[in-house]
Amino acid sequence: MSETQNAPWTEGLSELRAWTAAHEAIAVAPGSLSVPEPLRSEFYERVDGVQRRLAETVLGEGIEAACVVARACAEVRDEVLAATGLSAFTLAAKLEGFLEDPLAALAAPAFSPVLDALSGRLTEAEAEREAAMALTRGRESLVRNAFEAWAYYGVIAELRPRKFWAVASFDGSDAQAVETDEVVVGWQAASPDRRVPEAVLQTEDGRLFAMKSEAARELDYYGFSATRGRDTSAGGNTRDLMGHRVLLVYEMRSLDEVPVMVDRQKRIQRPCDLACTVIDPIQMRNPAYYGTFLTRLRGLRSRRPVQVVPFGDEPFSEEMVSGLGEAIEFHKYGLDRGTLAPIAQRLAS
């Protein structure tokens, strides 16, 4: 880092105050901000610089650890793009921002505390405390989502994909593979009843698979009919959701047989051929998290044991591993593609 980057964030805040005071057209007060258009770009660049220093102060070495996960996720995505000729494999917008500029994404939650310190609404100490909570939560979310994407699309990369199709539903009753140069994670035409994959892929050996990066909370609705007024599901479309997902893979015999995964109205749920989920062993110590996991596990129909990749280096308890028996297959933690290869190989058995 440069000397400027190493400087305390409060020094950056003082520089921002001095610059702002030198421009009488800028009005900053608690609860209000007015920046003329000619000065706006430079003003927000300077605010961004203070945010970054504040993030470095609060997160410390956690920034580099987060960047390692961001790079691993980006590398997997680049591998899939290169192998298939796609122009884009689009993740949630905040996750895209994290892969493009990790420090900017990590520092983003400090925006409001910095402005509040600038305006005098918060003292510097208060702003740092407020930013610390927001920055820590933001980092946890970004790293967790990037790790999940690395794991799930690392499994897809291990299948050796060579071509992708998007999935469209033209009449509301079927699903069809259509030519595309972009896969959008979590997307489908929203429907109260039906859940369909986001994409179909063909491997180098000619096999066909449909995939769905399903929001874990959406699994809670798979076994129930849509009820007007009480249904808070996303209708199958979770394209920009930053939250826990589960990778579902369905083997296909031909492009004419894109699976309708779920029809809630007809109470139909097609078993997936592979389910992979990232789970935090520490969270599983919480009875509420564990109970939710068990409920979703019981409702998820999979032809093979559900593949579980741990998030973090904390091991799962022996009681949990033995209690779930053959319904679950646990894997080791680590940004190691060798962990993911056996998961993809499950589809060959």
The predicted model gives 52-75 an average pLDDT of 97
Query: Could you give the 3-state DSSP secondary structure of residue 275?
Result: strand
* Residues constituting the chain: 349
What's the pTM?
0.93
pLDDT, tens digit, 9 for 90 and up, residues 262-288: 988 888 899 999 999 999 999 999 999
pLDDT value at 159 more than 60 = yes
Query: Could you give the 3-state DSSP secondary structure of residue 287?
Result: helix
pLDDT, tens digit, 9 for 90 and up, residues 64-80: 999 999 999 999 999 99
Domain residue spans of the chain? 3-148, 155-348
Among the residue ranges 5-9, 36-40, 192-196, the one predicted with the least confidence is: 5-9
Burial class (CB in 10 A: 0-12, 13-18, 19+), 242: middle
Query: Could you give the 3-state DSSP secondary structure of residue 328?
Result: strand
Specify the pairing of strand 182-184 against strand 245-252.
unpaired
The predicted model gives 33-42 an average pLDDT of 96
Question: Residues of the chain with pLDDT > 70: what percent?
Answer: 94
Burial class (CB in 10 A: 0-12, 13-18, 19+), 151: buried
Residue type for 205, please? Answer: D
pLDDT value at 1 more than 50 = no
Quick one: pLDDT band at residue 7, thresholds 50, 70, 90? low
Per the CB < 8 A criterion, the answer to whether 269 and 222 are in contact is: yes
pLDDT value at 333 more than 90 = no
Per-residue model confidence (pLDDT) at position 170: 67
pLDDT value at 51 more than 70 = yes
- On average, the pLDDT of the chain sits at 92
Number of Cβ within a 10 Å radius of residue 7: 16
pLDDT value at 255 more than 60 = yes
Per-residue model confidence (pLDDT) at position 227: 61
Per the CB < 8 A criterion, the answer to whether 295 and 217 are in contact is: no
Number of Cβ within a 10 Å radius of residue 42: 12
The predicted model gives 207-211 an average pLDDT of 98
The predicted model gives 120-137 an average pLDDT of 97
